[in-house]
Amino acid sequence: MNKIEHIGIAVKSLKDSNELFSKLFGEPHYKIEEVEREGVNTSFFKVGENKIELLEATNEDSPIAKFINKKGEGIHHIAFDVTNIESEIKRLKNEGFIVLNEMPKKGADNKLVAFLHPKSSNGVLIELCQEIKD
């Protein structure tokens, strides 16, 4: 793992949260993107070398809607940048982590992503991210 790529925060309203976090960071978001397959709209902020991803559900069946209904708004996941996502998935599975998707999928912000179940990482949902090379 190279670095923390971003922290994901589940929100009820992207519009309201964009206003709030713009005030907090003193800068507007730089990107809004829909990930239709996951039922989520995302908004990204850059804070120094770090990124914050706001996540809003687009339907009641999305993982974000279920998270908010169960736990309320708040930190949803921590994402780590990796060089080779397939080898990291294999390594972590061999280390005993529960991998939620054994094949990486296309996520927001031009990334391939995979997730580790929070039960295997002290209650924290971990996202692995690899930049998609053109």
Closest CA to 55 of 47, 100, 63: 63
Strands (E), 36-116: 40-47, 50-57, 74-81, 105-106, 111-116
- What does the pLDDT average to over 22-43? 95
Compute CA distances 100 → 18, 53, 55, 114, 127, whole Å.
29, 20, 19, 7, 10
Which pLDDT tens digit goes with each residue over 99-108? 999 899 998 8
Structure tokens at 108: 């927001």
Topology of domain 3-131, per CATH? Answer: 2,3-Dihydroxybiphenyl 1,2-Dioxygenase; domain 1 (3.10.180)
**Per-domain residue ranges of the chain:** 3-131
Which amino acid, 3? Answer: K
Which pLDDT tens digit goes with each residue over 38-90? 999 999 999 999 999 999 999 999 999 999 999 999 999 999 999 999 999 99
Structure tokens at 106: 């296309």
